[in-house]
Structures are given as structure tokens and as C-alpha cells.
Amino acid sequence: MSDAAAPGRADTAHAPDKVVTACLVIIGNEILSGRTRDVNLQFLATELNKIGVRMMECRVVPDIEEVIVDTVNEVRRKFDYVFTTGGIGPTHDDITADAIARAFGVGISENAEAVDRLTRYYADPALFTAPRRRMARIPHGGSLVDNPVSVAPGFRMENVFTFAGVPMIVEGMFHSMKHLLVGGRPLLSRTIRCSQPEGFIAGPLGAVQQRHPETEIGSYPAFRQGKPSVSLIIRGTDPAKLQSAFDDLFKVLVELKGEPEEVPVS
């Protein structure tokens, strides 16, 4: 990609205090049928947050052009960045590139640079089949997103980045383009595990949240070795405020005999 990415909602320079948002559109019947469990949301959410872009919504939609078009057109106006995964391969059910072209009201045809990359990759013309050549079709005005795994590129249209669906390719495409994203302040987090169930700590926990309105405290119950336990996650962009909320919550949990322990970030 040659041109710089610019957030869709506000075409401004780096604004460290602005919350920069993203939405992921997962395109694929295989996710909605239950055949495949998506892993791309977790990857992209985690990686985007590291560079100060916050995943605010995700939609899983079927391989129906109308639905893809409507969804992309709705979310590209609502969020700074939109990522789509799935549906850019060589088969008849790969309809994402056409849907994106329609969403932007532009045509679609073979991109010379994409043809060139694929021609070099497949080398033997017998391997560069017509269906593979279809993967060089890019909506007009789109710029290519590199695919370090299997060459067939993704592409960018304004604030919308279209990736393949295979997780290994999603990772490669993301790392090849992430320097183009303009992030805000990353959301930092600290996690405390607590042995008391939510029902015993909820009152004091709510009070801690009220004392620290600029951090956000989430409470996530789980079962550990058959016993209920709770993970408390404190999130915020200001390291000092995060530390202050952490210290307050930790002290409260000690008083509640919650045996708090910090869980290191994995």
C-alpha cells in the first residue's frame, strides 16, 4: 500500500485523546452454521488495541451480497476503521470484493499490480488458472493489502480493509498494514483474580467503580476447578488512574477476604 490510511469519521491527524474505533465484519456462512469457530476477532481486537484502536463492534454476516453491502455501508460511517474477513478467494462463494465495490458504488476489474504479483507467484501459466486470476479483481480506487502467506492480496477502500478469512493470512495481512493505522491512546488493563463470588463483592466493587469513573471495571465470573471465581479487569488509558483504581480495588478485595492476586498479561 502506498497511501496513508485516514480514519473515516474524522479525517484528522493523530489525536492522542480521541478514542479511535474499529468494527469487524466477519463474512461467512461457515461461522453462522457453527462449522467454524472464529478466531480472527480475538486476534484483531488484541492487536488493534496495542496500537490504540478500539474494537467497538463485530458483526457476523452470511454470504449474501445485499447483507454485506448494507452492513459495510452502515459501519464504515459509524467507525473509524472497518475490517472485513472472508470471501476473497477464487471460488463461486467468494463474493466480498464485488460486494465492497457495490457498497462504494464503484466498478471492479483486474488490478495490474495484483495480476503481476500472482503471475510471479504462480510462475507456471498452467498454475495461474482463471479462478486464481479472479483474485486479482479489486474494486476501483482500492489499494492492495499485502498477503505474505499466499500472495493474493486484500485491499483497502477508504477506511475499509478487506482481508481473507484464513487466520494465518489475516495475521500476515494485518502486520503488513498496521503501520498505516492512526491510533489513539491504547486501553491499558490490569486483571485481579478473586476467590469470593460476585454476589459477595458486587456492592463494594460498584463503589470502587464509582470512585474511579475514568477507569472501567469489568467483572467476569468463571468456574475454576468446579468452584466459582471472578476475574476483575480494570481498563483505562491513563496509567496513574489505572494504578490508583487497581490499588483501591486490591485493598477492598483483601478486606473482603477475596484473596486477590494479579494475573499477569499473557
Binding residues for a copy of itself (CB under 8 A)? 29-39, 41-47, 49, 54-63, 67, 89-94, 127, 129-132, 134, 150, 166, 168, 187, 189, 198-203, 205-206, 209, 216-223, 228, 233, 235
What CA–CA distance (Å, rounded) separates 250 from 61?
41
Phi-psi region of 243 (alpha: psi -120 to 50; beta: other; left: phi over 0): alpha
Helix (H) / strand (E) element for 251: namely helix 239-255
Closest-CA residue to 96 (of 144, 36, 27): 27
Q: Which residue type occupies 9?
A: R
Minimum distance of a copy of itself from residue 203's CB (angstroms): 6
Q: Which is nearer to a copy of itself, 6 or 29 (CB)?
A: 29
Output 110 or 198, the one with its CB closest to a copy of itself: 198
In the chain, the amino acid numbered 200 is: F
Pick 39 or 112: Cβ nearer a copy of itself: 39
CB of 161 to a copy of itself, least distance (A): 17
98, three cell numbers: 464485488
| Closer Cβ to a copy of itself, 150 or 244, answer by number | 150
Q: Where are the alpha helices (DSSP H) in 20-111?
A: 29-32, 40-50, 65-78, 96-104
Min CB(158)–a copy of itself separation in Å: 23
Q: Report which of 181, 249, 182, 184 is spatially closest to residue 215, judged by C-alpha positions.
A: 249
Q: List, in sequence order, every residue forming a beta bridge with 162; answer none if it has no partner.
A: 84, 155
- CB 4, min distance to a copy of itself, A: 26
Packing angle, helices 167-177 and 40-50, rounded to 10: 20
Residue closer to a copy of itself, measured from CB, 18 or 122: 122
Smaller CB separation from a copy of itself, 106 or 222: 222
List C-alpha distances in Å: 64 to 44, 90, 164. 24, 17, 17
3-class SS of residue 144: strand
Smallest gap from Cβ 32 to a copy of itself, in A, equals: 5
Residue closer to a copy of itself (CB basis): 156 or 190: 190
Q: How far is the CB of 148 from a copy of itself (least distance, A)?
A: 14
Q: Which residues, at least 6 apart from 74, have a Cβ–Cβ distance to it below 8 Å?
A: none
Residue 259 CA to residue 251 CA, distance in Å, equals: 10
State in angstroms the smallest separation of the CB of 3 from a copy of itself.
28
